[in-house]
Chain A
Amino acid sequence: ELKVEQNPLFLSMQEGKNYTIYCNYSTTSDRLYWYRQDPGKSLESLFVLLSNGAVKQEGRLMASLDTKARLSTLHITAAVHDLSATYFCAVDPSADGLTFGKGTHLIIQP
């Protein structure tokens, strides 16, 4: 059974600080996805990582994928309040759907 583990599950941080969210998964997958969800809203795609060593950046967020270690990271640089949300990673080793981590609830305080 495929398992996807995120940590931390809850993170409170101050504006201006840096932090990293980790996503481990239990089976081989060359594709990994990061999503953002605001309260009461749907999932917004942040990054699609398609190969080992892939790195993508958008604003203050940067995601990377190490398929050999089965690990992805989402790094937040100089956090701002607008990045407060829940972040999910997910993998799909085959076409039969995504398996999600439980999500990281991120609160960024002034």
Chain B
Amino acid sequence: DAGITQSPRHKVTETGTPVTLRCHQTENHRYMYWYRQDPGHGLRLIHYSYGVKDTDKGEVSDGYSVSRSKTEDFLLTLESATSSQTSVYFCAISVGYPDGYTFGSGTRLTVV
């Protein structure tokens, strides 16, 4: 199994503070993704990366930035957290066929 870990698992932060979530993989998969999951919306793509320093926006990218300085790490930053960003955040990697994608365990973020 592809190793993928997210940190932290839970975080409570105040409105207006910056927050960074980390996704780490133990293999050299090229594509990495950040999703958010909200009730009634399923999972929606925030940003994705197709290599070191190569990133692009997804469906719900406003208020988020990402960085990928190493193949194994993909960081998601909320520059100034808002209550609407309270959500569960999942990282995923594309591991090729036949398995497709592997998801991390998720980060539950609460903005108060």
Q: Which A residues are closer than 8 A to B by beta carbons?
A: 31, 33, 41-43, 45, 48, 50, 88, 90, 95-103
Dominant SS among interface residues on chain A? loop
Interface size on B, residues (CB 8 A): 27
Q: Are A102 and B41 interface neighbours, CB within 8 A?
A: yes
Tell me if B56 counts as interface (CB < 8 A to partner A).
yes
Q: Are A98 and B45 interface neighbours, CB within 8 A?
A: yes
Q: Are A97 and B99 interface neighbours, CB within 8 A?
A: no
Q: Are A97 and B45 interface neighbours, CB within 8 A?
A: yes
Q: Which B residues are closer than 8 A to A by beta carbons?
A: 31, 33, 35, 40-45, 48, 50, 56, 58-59, 90, 92, 94, 97-106
Q: Are A43 and B103 interface neighbours, CB within 8 A?
A: yes
Q: Are B99 and A103 interface neighbours, CB within 8 A?
A: no
**Nearest CB on B from A75, distance (A):** 20
Q: Are A101 and B90 interface neighbours, CB within 8 A?
A: no
Contacts of A42 in B (CB 8 A): 90, 103-106
Q: Are A95 and B33 interface neighbours, CB within 8 A?
A: no
